[in-house]
Structure 1
Amino acid sequence: MLRPQWRILSFYLVVGCLWIFFSDLLVAQLVRDPVWILRVQSIKGWLFILITSALLFVMIRRDHNRMLAANQALVASYDQTIRGWVRVMDLRHRETRDHTRRVTLMTLALAKRAGIQDPEALKQIERGSLLHDIGKVGIPDAILIKPGKLDLQEGQQMQRHVTIGHQLISDIAFLRPCADIPHYHHEKWDGSGYPEGLQGEAIPLAARLFALVDVWDALSHPRVYKAAWSEEAVLAYLVEQSGRHFDPQLVKLFIHHYPELKAELDSALAQQAD
């Protein structure tokens, strides 16, 4: 099968040759006056341009739509691969299975409230949220699912998951644009976070959004090392950490829109369950 560019070129050459041959033959038989021959030849040239332009447009649009469909199928397969990675994490750490789904939906909703409307930017936030803890594949189970507080050495080893995740994602060109959340979601507004100790707006916006939602969800649900906090206690903690752990403006935004954000999350989870 010919490639699109060769198919279009072949079509143009064939149509052009046939047009010249048969149109010249027809003009020679029907027109005798030299003045009219010139006029007819001019009209014939313009008709050729119009007809071939229309045909080329149809062919190019068809090939473009075919390539667009193929690209969309490829992107869909990439997203399926991402969800496959997340399922691998779920098998190792069942406790956080629903956590990934919740924080992804909530971060997207908060990002829209923060003024992010570009579909591609939202898609990168979605992928980054899904993959935020992918680096934990490199953390031993003895640390990852330890039923208690980690000691200093274990905590330092656990912190490596953001670096491991960043390395995994950076090696894949398709995923590099979504690396901010996996790499920087443990940075803190006051610069006391990790891995680079970024401060304030030096922390990418996607990571600041996700960090807030991540802590909200972690505190709102039980873990092996703690019970779930009440909703009031969680929201009070977020306010307390405004300007320290979290971007103050994002905390205000989250608290202001919290009822509708929570309602949207519950609705989305219910729909997925169906």
Structure 2
Amino acid sequence: MTTSYYRTVLVYLVFASLWIYFSDAVVASLFHTPEGITQAQNFKGLGFVVCTSLLLFFLIRSDFNRINDVNKQLRKSYDQTLEGWVQVMDIRHKETREHSLRVTRMTVKLASLMGIEGEKLTYIGRGAMMHDAGKVGIPDSILIKPGPLNEDEWELMKQHPVIARDMMQDIEFLKPSIDIPYSHHERWNGSGYPEGLQGDAIPIAARLFAIIDVWDALLEKRVYKEPWPEDQVLFYLQEQAGIHFDPQVVDLFLANYEEIKAAALQPSVF
């Protein structure tokens, strides 16, 4: 980046030097009266300001474009690293390798249907990808236990959103994506965790993701359960509108179900 600064200064210096040399030569050859020389010098000064302003505009825009390209590549590298790390987590949780990618694609699609776009959509995608990041702090004896958890085990399991928040809140790249990892176990009626938030107090990203996460969990075979039939899963989601889920989100999900489900197979995550 320092090289770019030097280049800008050098181009400006060369241009200014050439302008002064040749413009002075032109004025000297074309104008011979004091009045004519004064008027020409005034126009020369105005032309210099206009031309150097345009030159600087294009040089600075070029530098900004290069910086943006570097930032895009950097963000892409971060996202690819994140994707690889999350797939390793899925394997550790004894879930399918595509679990996190699948629910991320579907959540992004549902969010876009809700009218969310731009950077907010990217934050939701990263949050969905990181939804179970806090489980790195949960012992395997609890995480992949084949039977039901006892009370103490369940209380420890309920700490994984807090662990995720503590992991992400000091990382600038991930901080805007905390809502899903921290709040996707909240319930519309206030019976969820970790804060017992209710209704619209639950971040919209978490409300969107919750229905996708439960849909995927019920359809998939897990170490502690067999998969449910698809029609039974959809009936359950509708039944839980206003209890577990935001009713508006349930309606949107069911109204666009085939389109959202198809998004799970798309090659792009965000």
Please, what TM-score do these two structures have when normalized by structure 1? 0.91
**2-side partners of 1:253 and 1:6: how far apart?**
54
Residues 187 and 61 of structure 1: CA distance in aligned 2, closer, same or farther (over 3 Å)? same
**2-side partners of 1:162 and 1:64: how far apart?**
38
1:94 CA drift (Å): 3.1
**2-side partners of 1:21 and 1:33: how far apart?**
20
1:12 CA drift (Å): 3.3
**2-side partners of 1:33 and 1:138: how far apart?**
86
Name the stretch that deviates more: 256-265 or 240-249: 256-265
- Computed over aligned residues only, the root mean square deviation of the Cα atoms, in angstroms, reads 1.9
Matched positions, count: 268
1:161-240 map, 5 Å: 161-240=160-239
**2-side partners of 1:142 and 1:177: how far apart?**
32
**2-side partners of 1:233 and 1:144: how far apart?**
26
Query: Residue 90 of structure 2 contacts residue 99 of structure 2 at CA under 8 Å; is this kept in 1?
Result: no
Q: Which amino acid aligns with 2:127?
A: G
Unaligned runs of 5+ in 2: none
Query: Residue 221 of structure 1 contacts residue 227 of structure 1 at CA under 8 Å; is this kept in 2?
Result: yes
Which residue matches 2:47? Answer: 47
Q: Percent identity?
A: 54
Q: Secondary structure at the match of 1:156?
A: helix
Which residue matches 1:32? Answer: 32
Unaligned runs of 5+ in 1: none
Which residue matches 1:132? Answer: 131
Bigger fraction of residues in helix: 1
Which residue matches 1:82? Answer: 82
**2-side partners of 1:7 and 1:233: how far apart?**
65
Query: Residue 211 of structure 1 contacts residue 246 of structure 1 at CA under 8 Å; is this kept in 2?
Result: yes
1:246 CA drift (Å): 0.5
**1-side partners of 2:68 and 2:2: how far apart?**
18
- Structure 1 position 114 matched with structure 2 position 151: no
**2-side partners of 1:122 and 1:227: how far apart?**
33
Query: Residue 169 of structure 2 contacts residue 178 of structure 2 at CA under 8 Å; is this kept in 1?
Result: yes
Name the stretch that deviates more: 220-229 or 31-40: 31-40
Between 1 and 2, higher relative CO (CA 8 Å, sep ≥ 6) is seen in 2
1:26 CA drift (Å): 3.5
Please, what TM-score do these two structures have when normalized by structure 2? 0.92
